[in-house]
Structure 1
Amino acid sequence: MPYVDLCSSASGGSAADDFASVWYTTNTNFCCVSSFDPDKPCIMLLHPPALDSTWMNAQMNDPRISSNYNLIAFDMRCSGKSVSRPTGWHDAYVEAADLAFAHQSLQLPPCHIFAVGNQSVPVILRFAALFPEMCLSLTLCAVPPPTELKHVFTALEEMFQSWCYAEDLESLEHAGMEVVRFVCGNDSDMDLADELIAHWTVHYPPTRRSRTIQAMSVVMNRTPMTRREYEAIRCPVLIIQGEYSDTHPVKYGDTLKECLVNADARTYVVRGGQGFMSMVPSFANIVNQVFFKFLAARERVPSILGPPAEPIPERMRRALEDLSEFVGEPSIADRDPRSSISFSCCKAEVAQAQMDTIRNYAKGQCDAFNPLGHDGRPIRKYSERIQGHWFHGERDGLSYAGNGLSTNDRRIRDRKDTGLSVPHLLPSEPISFEAAQDSRIRRATYNPASFSVDKHVIKGSMNKVMASTGVPLPRVMQGML
């Protein structure tokens, strides 16, 4: 099976109980790296957050890419078919270590890397800083800010709480559509929305909400990289940003380019681009074209499989020593080099809050709402729902009485011209550590039952009911009684 098992040693260390099994797929006939064409360079694909490697099909099936390169796509921890033991120490550095272990275990050659969105981009930047010999180039699509923007952070927190604690299909679909707008922008295609919500329904139902919140904690609790980490990245870098992406503004791609002082970095802005773009049909072809041209200008390095130049424990120990210098924490160099968790840079209070949140979300998840039918598939498509109420919004996010607006309506045209996928009054800045910690504590103690409305029923005659409220019964009703 195409899995890479990452098991830490039982000989000691704080991470001795870690376990992860990372799923991967390739563009070969048998989905294994041994079938790679040795004359073609290798590309590693990393998916957007809350999705998996199947959402890299736009790149896997593009003949410009698939016919000229060997492709391998990984499911991150808590994504797709990968499995792992819940841990509060899970962060982007742990994901980077997972990829390094997998790269060496599969005896892969140096790879061109294509990463998308708020989870994969921070992971691969750390991977390139710690393991530069494994990277030929980086292509970063939808580069996020160093920490999540305040309005995006708040929206993500509310959306995934609503999803995880949905009690019926309508509530689940409403929360799912909000996440679709985050992933694809405001002008998302309905077929794509159906596929996305169906994917989340199968892989992240409320009955698995502890897995969902662990995956999103990596995104929401990420920390900025240090100057020394940016300086350690020396391979060519292509940054692809969407012109109208309100969650991944162009300025943060430009900021990253300025930080990569030792890399040949360049930026490409997709006109009208929103969301993660690599999976949105209207933008994916443009992203692939830019990616292919960027690779065509690089030297073609053959994919010759072979054992690593040095034993895996020694290479990982050297990476721990580099990481300790990058973040200024000498104790990191003394950790177990055979475990990905040893690379965690989470502060103790953050790790504790994340673990408390996982435990809190795990309570009662076996009895949570299950949106799947007896065949394990979604009960219906999102587009098949009955919109019989006035609060169902139109494509511009607003609600109107009467029939839905046509695509030629002035209000929709004006809305599209603004290019904003998530409307808000003022542009927000990245969230501070203190505000993020407050949110972590709130998630760790979140109890949806506390928001329920208690219904007090007073039984007895009308006279008794009115007397209990202190309001005298009207004379007319007294005569009737």
Structure 2
Amino acid sequence: MPFVDLHSAEDFASISYITNSFLGNVGGFDPQKPTVCILPPTFLDSSWLYSQFNDPRLDADYNLIAFDMRVAGKSECRHSGKHDSWVDAADLAFCHQALALPPVHILAIESNAINCALRFAVLFPEMCLSLALCNVPAPTELKWIYTAYDEVVQTWCFAEDLESYEHAAMEAVTYTLGPDTTPDLRDDLIAYWETVMHPRRRQYVQEQANVFLNRTPLPAAAYPHITQPVLIIQGDANEKIPHKYAERMAHDLKAVLYTVKGGNTYLTIAPGTASIVNQVYVKFVSRLPRVGPESPTKGLTTEERMRDALGTLESITGDGAFRTRDPLSSLSFCCLSDEVVRQQTDRLTAYRKGQTLAYLPLGPTGRPIRRYSERPHDDWFESKTEGLSYAGGRFFEPIGRSSKQLPMPQSEPISPAEGRVGRRGTFSPITVDKIVIKSSMAKVVTGSQPTLHKLFL
């Protein structure tokens, strides 16, 4: 897998990517074919794009390239509290220029990818021919999802045994794909997370969660900069991403909105919807005019182009400090407040402590110890498909489709005061103090007898 190294005085990132060319790099691209850049789903990487790379409708007629986020897949980076979606957009622009890519069509899947794609189109319009957005999220996360994901991420990252880790991973599957996920897809997701996002890589997990949970709405001043054709593909059965937000963005961007009946989260990997997404996307892109293979930034150095992008960001935000920042650093594009940056940095620091000695849910060969579906079912208190834990039997008998599972909570997006600034500010991974007794057992038992006697009296 090839990489693009991005380095500056305050930052370093090595961005991994894949292509559909014979040699696996951009040198094998056919200059007569349009180029499609795919941004993988949140908490996944480019290895989960097999439904797109193996589809002849895309593979035969388009050059395909997919970039991993700096904290996803095989990418590596120096962790920073300044990481937001504007930084991801800058990473994508640096990679685009380093590989001398022609203008690309972007297919962005789920929250982090969509926020990156929108900001990329705003700052680098000549590099982006069109946008296709799968499952447009709310501007900020819904309150119940925000709380649920924050708890799951902490449990996930500080799991001390396989059962605890699998429980957190299963909760994540339920939140993302719902309780009716096929066993094979559920096993593959959990096995992937065990391999790539285990507790010894919890800083990577937390930094992705920071970008996902602490996202900010795209400023109203940025929408006029998006002039490319836009397609929105939205699942109508996705209770975690209500359809009204896709409708709102389609109105703001004058986009084409296509609704996938019965579609949930992860439309591009879920059985039954991936092919539909590909078909709709191919029809959309095939109707757009073709552009030559020339690099859109020809005649400009990378530093000059990135400085112009900082100027655009200054005009959108009204913050004159962007002009003074290093144009060769992706972190210069961060739009988070100093308070949020400090809190994200503190959280990453807390997650780094003890990371190398954390629990590893892998065997000696570096592979998962077992498949989730193969775990022993000897616990009398077991989690069932409804998302509840109880001892045998059924909590209630299903009457029709609506009774098969409890309804998802209904809530509105969080406000900045509730979320980004106030997010678990007193977090500490150590919640229970361990008392070490330095004495003989006889003295301990003898010395504690009066106290125990009083307690029982």
What's the TM-score, normalizing by structure 1? 0.88
Identify which of 168, 189, 192 aligns with 1:196.
Answer: 189
AA at the equivalent of 2:149: L
Q: Is the 8 A contact 1:47 1:53 kept in 2?
A: yes
Q: Which moved more, 1:289-298 or 1:157-166?
A: 289-298
Q: Is the 8 A contact 1:396 1:412 kept in 2?
A: no
Q: Is the 8 A contact 2:44 2:73 kept in 1?
A: yes
In structure 1, what is the equivalent of residue 427 of structure 2? 446
In structure 1, what is the equivalent of residue 110 of structure 2? 117
Q: How does 1:290-369 map to 2 (within 5 A)?
A: 290-304=280-294, 308-369=298-359
**2:379 corresponds to 1:395:** no
Distance in 1 separating the partners of 2:119 and 2:157: 30
AA at the equivalent of 1:275: T
1:75 CA drift (Å): 0.7
Q: Count residues with an aligned counterpart.
A: 455
For residues 106-161 of structure 1, the C-alpha deviation after alignment (integer angstroms, 9 at most, x for no partner) is 11111110001111101110000111111111110011111111111101101110
**2:415 corresponds to 1:432:** yes
Q: Is the 8 A contact 1:241 1:249 kept in 2?
A: no
Q: How does 1:257-276 map to 2 (within 5 A)?
A: 257-260=250-253, 264-276=254-266
For residues 310-340 of structure 1, the C-alpha deviation after alignment (integer angstroms, 9 at most, x for no partner) is 2111111111000011111011122111111
Identify which of 276, 279, 283 aligns with 2:273.
Answer: 283
Q: Is the 8 A contact 1:25 1:31 kept in 2?
A: yes
In structure 2, what is the equivalent of residue 410 of structure 1? 398
Secondary structure of the 1:319 match is helix
Q: Is the 8 A contact 2:4 2:15 kept in 1?
A: yes
AA at the equivalent of 1:204: M
Identify which of 231, 239, 246 aligns with 1:238.
Answer: 231
Secondary structure of the 2:146 match is helix
Distance in 2 separating the partners of 1:323 and 1:46: 22
**2:28 corresponds to 1:23:** no
AA at the equivalent of 2:41: P
Task: Note the aligned Cα RMSD (angstroms).
Answer: 2.6
Distance in 2 separating the partners of 1:415 and 1:112: 42
1:2 CA drift (Å): 1.4
**2:51 corresponds to 1:70:** no
**2:5 corresponds to 1:2:** no
Secondary structure of the 2:44 match is coil
Identify which of 340, 360, 363 aligns with 1:373.
Answer: 363
1:266 CA drift (Å): 1.3
**2:73 corresponds to 1:92:** no
Distance in 2 separating the partners of 1:100 and 1:35: 21
1:433 CA drift (Å): 1.1
Q: Is the 8 A contact 2:82 2:341 kept in 1?
A: yes
Taking a change above 3 Å as real, the CA distance of residues 54 and 340 of structure 1, as seen in their structure-2 partners, is same
Gaps of at least 5 residues in structure 2 are none
Q: Is the 8 A contact 1:49 1:120 kept in 2?
A: yes
Taking a change above 3 Å as real, the CA distance of residues 277 and 454 of structure 1, as seen in their structure-2 partners, is farther
Secondary structure of the 2:382 match is coil
Q: Which moved more, 1:278-287 or 1:156-165?
A: 278-287
AA at the equivalent of 1:161: Q
Q: How does 1:133-148 map to 2 (within 5 A)?
A: 133-148=126-141
Q: Is the 8 A contact 1:372 1:379 kept in 2?
A: yes
Gaps of at least 5 residues in structure 1 are 9-15, 475-481
Identify which of 153, 157, 162 aligns with 1:164.
Answer: 157
Distance in 2 separating the partners of 1:376 and 1:192: 21
**2:33 corresponds to 1:40:** yes
Taking a change above 3 Å as real, the CA distance of residues 132 and 415 of structure 1, as seen in their structure-2 partners, is farther
AA at the equivalent of 2:13: A
AA at the equivalent of 2:6: L
Distance in 2 separating the partners of 1:203 and 1:385: 20
1:306 CA drift (Å): 8.0
Taking a change above 3 Å as real, the CA distance of residues 452 and 55 of structure 1, as seen in their structure-2 partners, is farther
Larger radius of gyration between Structure 1 and Structure 2: 1
For residues 453-479 of structure 1, the C-alpha deviation after alignment (integer angstroms, 9 at most, x for no partner) is 8799996799986642455989xxxxx
Identify which of 158, 174, 180 aligns with 2:173.
Answer: 180
AA at the equivalent of 1:2: P
AA at the equivalent of 2:429: P
**2:236 corresponds to 1:214:** no
Secondary structure of the 2:419 match is helix
Distance in 2 separating the partners of 1:473 and 1:400: 32
Secondary structure of the 1:450 match is coil
Distance in 1 separating the partners of 2:240 and 2:40: 17
In structure 1, what is the equivalent of residue 248 of structure 2? 255
Secondary structure of the 2:259 match is strand
Secondary structure of the 1:170 match is helix
1:267 CA drift (Å): 0.9
What's the TM-score, normalizing by structure 2? 0.93
For residues 36-71 of structure 1, the C-alpha deviation after alignment (integer angstroms, 9 at most, x for no partner) is 111211000001111111111111111111111110
**2:84 corresponds to 1:103:** no
For residues 57-101 of structure 1, the C-alpha deviation after alignment (integer angstroms, 9 at most, x for no partner) is 111111111111110000111100111111111111011000001
Secondary structure of the 2:58 match is helix
Identical aligned residues as a percent:
45
Q: Which moved more, 1:445-454 or 1:387-396?
A: 445-454
Secondary structure of the 1:22 match is strand
AA at the equivalent of 1:235: Q
Q: Is the 8 A contact 1:466 1:472 kept in 2?
A: no
